[in-house]
Amino acid sequence: MNSQKARVAVFVSGGGTNLQAILDAERSGIIQHGEICLVISNQPEAYALKRAETAGVRAETVSRKELGSQQAFEEKLISLLEEAGIELIVLAGFLSILSEAFTGRYPKRILNVHPSLIPSFCGQGFYGLRVHEAALERGVIITGATVHYVNEIPDGGEIILQKAVRVYPGDTPEKLQKRVMRQAEWKLLPAAVEIVSEKIVQERR
């Protein structure tokens, strides 16, 4: 355990491309004050778990369906986080809603990346391709991504970083999703992890 680094957990549900961006950033030294110690998925078949194992990071599955209730689900998450001494939680494509009781337990210690420039195309029901579909339906010429703190309101926490991405004629939701990931999400999320990890380390001193 490195006492000079904040201990970070990443919550995932799918392929884990944002997780990979964080792991790569830690390895390359972009993230200097954070250490990815735990990856938790709510989906046992999530490819993100394989990415964690390949990187030598502990990977766990916590299924709300199997545990039977939101409370039991969150109690299991908390016990894993406490056991691993986690100080910062990163939601990287985590498609399970966390209750106010959970988010309130970790003020300014949970980060989320959202694939639009909040407050556009955000809140309940806006996730994945739906965000990009909505942006194209609206006819915007600039979209982007936002990393924000998580509170009890979906996509409602304080913004940490944003980056704009151009929309081009002929874009499909899939094309736009890839461009926003490459140009914004995969850069912003590691940068935000470093910013908050450094704060945590400084607060310890």
The contacts of residue 122 (CB under 8 Å, 6+ apart) are 114, 116, 131, 146, 154, 155
The pLDDT assigned to 2 comes to 63
What would the DSSP string read from start to end of 73-121?
Answer: HHHHHHHHHHHTT--EEEESS--SPPPHHHHTTSTT-EEEEESS-TTTT
pLDDT exceeds 70 at position 196: yes
User: What is the Cα 110 distance to its own chain's centre?
Assistant: 8
Closest-CA residue to 107 (of 168, 152, 160): 152
Alpha-carbon separation of residue 191 from 96, 113, 139, 163 (angstroms): 24, 11, 29, 12
Residue tagged active-site, from 33, 114, 132, 148: 114
Which residues is 180 bridged to in the sheet?
none
Query: What is the strand order of the sheet 6-12 is part of?
Result: 58-61, 34-41, 6-12, 88-91, 110-114, 142-149, 159-166
Both tokens of residue 147? 């990393």
pLDDT in tens, 123-137: 888 888 999 999 999
**What domains appear along the chain, each with residue ranges and CATH number?**
6-204 (3.40.50.170)
Is it the case that residue 118 has pLDDT exceeding 60?
Answer: yes
Taking residues 95-123, what's their average pLDDT? Answer: 94
Residue pLDDT, tens place only, 53-82: 999 999 999 999 899 999 999 999 999 999
Residue 154 pLDDT greater than 90, yes or no: no
Q: What is the structure's pLDDT at 125?
A: 84
- Per the annotation, the verdict on 114 as an active-site residue is yes
pTM for the whole structure = 0.94
CA–CA gap between residue 117 and residue 35 (Å, rounded): 28
Give the pair of three-digit tokens for residue 51: 């990415």
pLDDT digits (tens, 9 = 90+) for 8-39: 999 999 999 999 999 999 999 999 999 999 99
